[in-house]
Structure 1
């Protein structure tokens, strides 16, 4: 088990592959930990350095007092990149991870070779929605939103097959205060202006069955970024790296090849 103290928080991470290989860093969605990428990894090209990490307040990373901000979480990612001695990383951010990636690219663009914004946007939801969710979990716990969240995360077919149950348990076992602090970060984030100024290679990914960040929302962010392209995975929900890992890996591999990262 690997941890690094970054910006006053112990961050849990996994680091696989040759030390001198091109690096890809993965940032998880709200309510998940770094295992969300497990099904994807076998489908990626050999010879990459793969770094996954739990953002503060999630998984095995430290739960520091909130509220958090997206810029703070992006600075954590930058700190971990520097701690590991990496340069020119391709950053893959899912959901809140996509917000983190946009801020990271705007604030620490020298660290990145490319950015993948997955099932995310420059702004996700509104303050009222996030405030209601925070109030609900503080009153009734994360289990109170578990079933409804699975409906947004996964397609009906995936849920009907019983595959969502472990992911619901993962959500419900996250640190409540850390989850709420990340909700507060999302509620306050409106990255349209800084994302419009990004000039690095960017690929966006969406799923047609995504109940949290539907394709039109993701497409709106793609339209902000010069040269960005959007791929939509048919039938996949909010976490396509779980539901459609092969298709997700194909998109990511094509992007890595396009920018000379493999």
Structure 2
């Protein structure tokens, strides 16, 4: 059931379902809400599952934002719900949040699935441009370009109704929220701490990802001792939408590692 959690005056929207076994916790990408995980969550009906809208996204409020703060939000909510020893699955900025949580709170983040992400994503110039667009024209002004980065050519051709829905999802994100999380990504570099992660970890990437290409994800996997790596051919930046079965399989293999 979707509900809300107060974190230092910021209302965070989340969905939690109880169950048995290892808790599964999901962290979204920039410009999306926790519904991007619907088809993945359906593959784990018996596990405790937590999904959260980060600050400025979905029904969550705006507030001071950094990758460390977003990870602290997740940690506070997990403690509130009594969750520990979880598998954290994060895509894009959600992957940065998962890495940060794994470093700061390995008691909470016992296993990691990192999707379409890196230790550092993009350049200052790229993020400054997106921040300017968000502030001046809003997410509507960047929507078509974002859809090109998010999805494969096949998805855009054959699943146009869904594409329109995810474009609408992006455009519902507050301009301030989009800009704040963009700044958090711009200012985040985990290349010093991520190689010290010791949890079982799997890195998965869409083979046609334009936003965080396979090479960036392979470098991430190579930096984490013992991490496994896989690419999903013909898939873009959000495998949880395009090929949820591949994400389910990656989570299951990491649970069994």
TM-score tier, shorter chain, comes to: over 0.9
Query: Which whole-Å CA distance do the structure 1 matches of 2:151 and 2:32 have between them?
Result: 14
Gaps in structure 2 of 5+ consecutive residues: none
Shift of 1:96: 0.4
Shift of 1:129: 0.6
Query: Which whole-Å CA distance do the structure 2 matches of 1:24 and 1:8 have between them?
Result: 26
Q: CA RMSD in A?
A: 1.2
Partner of 1:182: 181
Query: Which whole-Å CA distance do the structure 1 matches of 2:71 and 2:246 have between them?
Result: 27
1:105 aligned residue (87, 96, 102): 102
Partner of 2:82: 85
Partner of 1:153: 150
Partner of 1:61: 60
Partner of 1:203: 202
Question: Under a length normalisation based on structure 2, what TM-score does the superposition of the two structures give?
Answer: 0.96
Shift of 1:21: 3.5
**Contact 1:207/1:235 (8 A) holds in 2:** yes
**Contact 1:7/1:79 (8 A) holds in 2:** no
Partner of 1:28: 28
Query: Which whole-Å CA distance do the structure 2 matches of 1:212 and 1:234 have between them?
Result: 15
**Contact 1:153/1:211 (8 A) holds in 2:** yes
Query: Which whole-Å CA distance do the structure 2 matches of 1:107 and 1:29 have between them?
Result: 20
Shift of 1:8: 3.2
Shift of 1:108: 1.2
2:137 aligned residue (140, 143, 149): 140
Question: Under a length normalisation based on structure 1, what TM-score does the superposition of the two structures give?
Answer: 0.94
Partner of 2:234: 235
Query: Which whole-Å CA distance do the structure 2 matches of 1:58 and 1:206 have between them?
Result: 23
**Contact 1:152/1:210 (8 A) holds in 2:** yes
Gaps in structure 1 of 5+ consecutive residues: none
